Structure 1
């Protein structure tokens, strides 16, 4: 008896295997990375703006008389950052390389200014802000982008000259340069940003192909450094002991973490409903920044948290896909460094909220409130979009796509040619 093909059994419809093969085939298209980065970024931004409004509405209504205060500020930061992302997506690679050294130098100067009494401002035990009247800037955020660009440019030049076969050219001056940034951030007692900077440094070494023994040695030094930072600062030691003993000090050290867990647990499968959460009513500190994921879990439930995790997972896949497919060493290193920065920061933030990692006080990229973090993140994502256009076949696919929606809209109004 002759077997009937799956297409004929379903009346011409493809079977499950064919559907899976077609779905997997979509991931092999030239513009897959481009659309994944763009789509995930837009969806996380939209979710973040919505959750900032929900998480901050009660506190801002009490403090300013308007529930929309932080929402409006975040919208302004987005209005500034999105054109920056669009511009970065259209820049050539040589422009990013030219930005590397100036941005790193400006970051070092700004981080040093944070430590000047009268300019630096402390929040939650960490001195990480510069105050210029009503405007506050967090220099450690653009420093992440500066380290990515400078480290990628430095290692790409050394790779072209064949100087990466020994450990000394591999680490000098990358290690001292990264060490200066880490030292300045450490002096401001910002452990979370220190971990992200060290992650970028390790990601660059990994991608450039550092020997396993050297890489493990550097990781050991990083672990020792982080341990020292925790031991010498009492509030960090309290956070660590609170993480190891979550049942103790429920009204002091562990209060924020416990309230965050309560918020996530009370959301159930589908959540209490957007805007209907109870944690933001003076129960959960910093609900719109460090613990906004807890508000997502409470109001949107397990489904909402899985959507956030899925979007960051797709963003990680897209960034690593770009790093794997591009040919230029600088592009490969910068894409991997930026991806490691965003994804590890998201993991650390979410891990702290759900109690699997100690609380470090770093925001959830694209979702938490804060312009100093949002704008460099959007520029980094624009850089990934620019790199995605350099994947094999991407430029041809973009050219065959025809005019974009903006050009089409202008042509309908008679303001542009088709």
Structure 2
């Protein structure tokens, strides 16, 4: 075991390990998500008199666009990422304001947070607000660190916290508590990565917690979600704990290796949102404990690689942005999976890169592209990648043969 640990540690410490782990984990999660979206959405599509592959086609198209965004983001220099921070944030805020205008914004599931793009295509601007907050916050904190201002609490908080609260206010106008929680987690991730003092961090956390408790207490719908933690009795049709209980049933019936791909029973109508918020439950039913643990391992690997990128760079913007992206993906995965397992209240957030929804998939894949770009720009990774460029092996072989000829020509005493 000691030898295995040593070899594993040596492999993990290689310059390109984080780079390959981010690429591999991100693409595997997305690919497996496409498979499960197809399986989990077929019955829902038939219920609406659509072709069985309707939702899969939309998700596959979004994945193609997201792959393009990932490739573009992974090849962009850090300066261009910083230049995009303000346009993305301003664009997201503008769209989030449009959502609140009657006739433009649309309500889905009781939340006013969508804009119709025509036909079946809908856009959720708050998903792009997450990316905008990360890039803007990282650029802001990096510039203040360069000016040595982060040692003062007012520069640590202003204007980062007011800007985040503005986004939170726009989101809460539409009633989307789940996205607001993720945005708050991103804010805390940025402050933590920036080295916020414990008192300052606890103070912001206390204010956010107080506001959250107030919003939950004043909403019977949100209170019902808290009461459904660990619920196993679904109740009748329309009962508040119906989704939570059937999610547990789906996981419990999966066993070690599941009932088989496409063989879920719960997706036939008992489990609401089987292809979106509760796709992890269908995964557990069809692929069993082995499938769910594989998904958890992929998210853990992606999160750990993101932490390594954030901790292994000397560029403050890269550190803050990588920390923000890692916080976003891991926190959202924990909240989604925790709700499906009955350990957390149902927040109504998708599983990143996995659940159905193009508005969530596109900015998340762009964010994974950011991590790839940051991982490949580490000095050691740069050198390792440069050695693997096309033609390098041939040139190295020529140099090696030339060196061997020179050694052979030397007198034996000089060797």
Do the structures match in fold with TM over 0.5? yes
Match of 1:236 in 2: 222
TM-score by length of 2: 0.91
Matched, 1:101 2:86: yes
- Distance in 2 between the 1:305 and 1:72 partners? 24
CA apart distance, 1:140: 0.5
CA apart distance, 1:83: 1.0
- Distance in 2 between the 1:49 and 1:105 partners? 31
What count of residue pairs does the alignment treat as equivalent? 389
Match of 2:368 in 1: 381
Structure 1, 244-253 or 344-353: larger mean CA deviation: 244-253
- Distance in 1 between the 2:159 and 2:24 partners? 37
- Indicate if the aligned counterparts of 1:250 and 1:258 stay in contact, CA closer than 8 A: no
Matched, 1:140 2:123: no
Over 3 Å counting, the alpha-carbon distance change for 1:22 and 1:250 in structure 2 is farther
In structure 1, stretches of 5+ residues that fail to align are: 1-15, 405-418
CA apart distance, 1:100: 0.6
Match of 2:28 in 1: 43
- Indicate if the aligned counterparts of 1:326 and 1:390 stay in contact, CA closer than 8 A: no
Match of 2:70 in 1: 85
- State the Cα deviation string for residues 195-233 of structure 1 (Å, max 9, x = none): 111111111111111111110111111111111111122
- State the Cα deviation string for residues 69-88 of structure 1 (Å, max 9, x = none): 11111110011110110010
After TM superposition, the structure 1 = structure 2 runs for residues 102-181 of structure 1, keeping only pairs within 5 Å, are 102-134=87-119, 135-181=121-167
Matched, 1:329 2:316: yes
Match of 1:31 in 2: 16
Q: Aligned-pair RMSD on alpha carbons?
A: 1.4
Matched, 1:184 2:170: yes
- Indicate if the aligned counterparts of 2:230 and 2:343 stay in contact, CA closer than 8 A: no
- Distance in 1 between the 2:312 and 2:135 partners? 19
Match of 2:285 in 1: 298
CA apart distance, 1:20: 2.6
- Indicate if the aligned counterparts of 1:325 and 1:392 stay in contact, CA closer than 8 A: no
Matched, 1:396 2:386: no
- Could you say what secondary structure the match of 1:393 adopts? helix
Match of 1:309 in 2: 296
- Distance in 1 between the 2:231 and 2:8 partners? 45
TM-score by length of 1: 0.91
- Distance in 2 between the 1:241 and 1:249 partners? 13
- Indicate if the aligned counterparts of 2:231 and 2:342 stay in contact, CA closer than 8 A: no
In structure 2, stretches of 5+ residues that fail to align are: 392-415
Structure 1, 33-42 or 229-238: larger mean CA deviation: 229-238
Over 3 Å counting, the alpha-carbon distance change for 1:150 and 1:351 in structure 2 is same
- State the Cα deviation string for residues 39-67 of structure 1 (Å, max 9, x = none): 00111011100000000111212323411
- Could you say what secondary structure the match of 1:243 adopts? coil
